Amino acid sequence: MTGVQALGAWCIAAVAGLGRAGLFLYATLTSASLALRRFGLVVQQVYAVGVLTLLIIVVAGLFVGMVLGLQGYYTLVDFGAESQLGLVVALTLTRELGPVLSALLFAGRAGSALTAEIGLMKATEQLAAMEMMAVDPVARVVAPRFIAGIIALPLLAAMFTVIGVFGGHFVGVVQLGVDAGVYWSSMQEGVDVYDDILNGVIKSVVFGFAVTWIAVFEGYDATPTAEGVSRATTRTVVTASLAVLGLDYLLTALMFGEV
């Protein structure tokens, strides 16, 4: 009986949490225009979530591209098709790995920091103090971070993809001897600006929205104790990563299903 009760309580809590997250998103979106008018706040947050995440994105993109070049080469060379290496690397990165991996890294690096920061503001009653001074904490603290996340992730994903292509170029062309002209021309022949690149960018915008939403909500909704903030940070990384992977399947099925 207690098991059933626990299940029921868990379900009710989950649905209530989803409802709070929805209401919170509504409050954030309605105060987004206020945050856009004070653009300096957004710029600061783009620095915090974007510029500071750049290093991990660059390093990860380089190595993922190099691994793709290596794996792709050894798979394709068996079929005598190593001339298509550029296409394999570019399509993998633009369609999937660029948006998805940068979103996962973004959730780990920037999302967790957002949650911890907002959660700690709540635990130290800074948010309550703002309300006392008639400053809306959602407009002042949450909305700029939300907008910054949506701006930063697509840019990071684009950089990830470009650096990955150069990583593949380094391994495939410089080390393994695929012709440089063939590498680039097979890529340009096969990658479509709308079907592949634009869809990849749309994916990363959606991921940016989802990851940042989850991160700021978990921070805002955290139990205001040290333990509560640490739990909220963990939840952000886990939930955001799962959301990215689930959304990725959904978006892929919608975008590439009927080619």
Partner 1 sequence: MQSKAIEMAVGLFVLAGILALGMLALRIGNLNTTEIQGGYTVYGRFVNVGGLNVKAPVTMAGVRIGRVTGIHVDPDDFNAVVAMRIEKEFDNIPRDTAASILTAGLLGAQYVGLEPGGSDEFLHDGDEFDLTQSAVVLEQLIGQLIFSQSEGGGQ
Binding site for partner 1 (CB under 8 A): 40, 43-44, 46-47, 50-51, 54, 90, 94, 151-152, 154-156, 158-159, 161-162, 165, 184, 187-189, 191-193, 196-197, 201
Task: Report the nearest approach of partner 1 to the CB of residue 53 (Å).
Answer: 10
Task: Report the nearest approach of partner 1 to the CB of residue 128 (Å).
Answer: 27
Contacts of 257 (CB under 8 A, 6+ apart): none
CB 170 within 8 A of CB 86: no
CB 71 within 8 A of CB 219: no
Residue 72 sits at the vertex; the CA angle it makes with 66 and 73, to the nearest 5 degrees, is 90
Task: Report the nearest approach of partner 1 to the CB of residue 114 (Å).
Answer: 17
Nearest in space to 159 (alpha carbons), one of 71, 240, 58:
58
Task: Report the nearest approach of partner 1 to the CB of residue 75 (Å).
Answer: 15
Contacts of 77 (CB under 8 A, 6+ apart): none
Nearer Cβ to partner 1 (91/127): 91
Nearer Cβ to partner 1 (173/232): 173
Tokens of 109: 């690096």
Nearer Cβ to partner 1 (139/191): 191
DSSP for 126-161, written as a single string: HHHHHHHTT--HIIIIIHHHHHHHHHHHHHHHHHHH
Nearer Cβ to partner 1 (28/53): 53
Task: Report the nearest approach of partner 1 to the CB of residue 178 (Å).
Answer: 16
Nearer Cβ to partner 1 (115/161): 161
